[in-house]
A and B are shown apart, each in its own frame.
Chain A
């Protein structure tokens, strides 16, 4: 939705790093998430970060959070063709919202070329 913005497309070569960016508007957001969606499938939770952290690393995935600029990024190291999918950024808000309700961006289509 309009609370979370992402660029729509990203293309990279196999073996390169991918960086997917996201901006959000609500400074009260408590958790920020990255989900992956393959064609015709549901959403797979990749990772999440609590708003008082600025970085989280999990194997090939690195999440960076700049709370001042309300900017979140997902870096995928050594990108593989199997990483081709749509990546969604999502936030959960602390105030004025249902616990755990997620607000999603439109998604970034990542295409990995061999």
Chain B
């Protein structure tokens, strides 16, 4: 297993366009998290899936954001009608079902809204 994989690594989009990011967690990790990181800040929690169920959403996740994990494996994060304030690094992490909650992060998707 090569770890958590995110695609694309970079995305430049015009304001108002929709974008979708994909995350493939480590195999057998049933817990999946999305975070957002802006320049000079630590990652901030966006949402959490346990298997296919979305169990928590942060207040940071406005109505323009939606996340899915349809079969409990990969996840997608969609941002509709992007705004310049959405420019950030979007990080995905996964954790195993048992033991210490070690969260392993992907390389992130860098979004730039112009």
Chain A contacts to B: CB under 8 angstroms: 1, 4, 31, 33, 35, 40-45, 48, 50, 88, 90, 92, 98-107
Contacting pair B101 A43 (CB below 8 A): no
Q: 13 pairs across A/B with beta carbons < 8 Å?
A: A33-B103, A41-B107, A41-B108, A42-B91, A42-B106, A43-B43, A43-B93, A50-B100, A90-B42, A101-B48, A103-B45, A104-B43, A106-B41
User: Which A residue's beta carbon lies closest to that of B107?
Assistant: A42
B82 within 8 Å of A by Cβ? Answer: no
Chain A positions within 8 Å of B33 at CB level: 100-102
Contacting pair B108 A106 (CB below 8 A): no
Chain B positions within 8 Å of A101 at CB level: 33, 45, 48, 56
User: Which B residue's beta carbon lies closest to that of A105?
Assistant: B42
Across the interface, B44 reaches (CB within 8 A) one of A44, A100, A104, namely A104
Chain A positions within 8 Å of B101 at CB level: 31, 92, 99-100
Across the interface, B108 reaches (CB within 8 A) one of A35, A42, A105, namely A42
Q: Chain B binding site: helix, strand, loop or mixed by DSSP?
A: strand
Q: Chain A binding site: helix, strand, loop or mixed by DSSP?
A: strand
Q: Restricting to B19-52, which residues have a CB under 8 Å from any CB of A?
A: 31, 33, 35, 40-45, 48, 50
Chain A min CB distance to B10 (Å): 9
Task: State A13–B65 Cα separation when bound (angstroms).
Answer: 44
Chain B min CB distance to A49 (Å): 10
User: Which A residue's beta carbon lies closest to that of B6?
Assistant: A42
Contacting pair A48 B105 (CB below 8 A): no
Task: State A40–B50 Cα separation when bound (angstroms).
Answer: 28
Across the interface, A45 reaches (CB within 8 A) one of B6, B105, B110, namely B105
Nearest first, the 9 A-B pairs at minimum CB distance are A104-B42, A100-B101, A43-B105, A42-B107, A42-B105, A98-B56, A42-B108, A98-B48, A100-B95
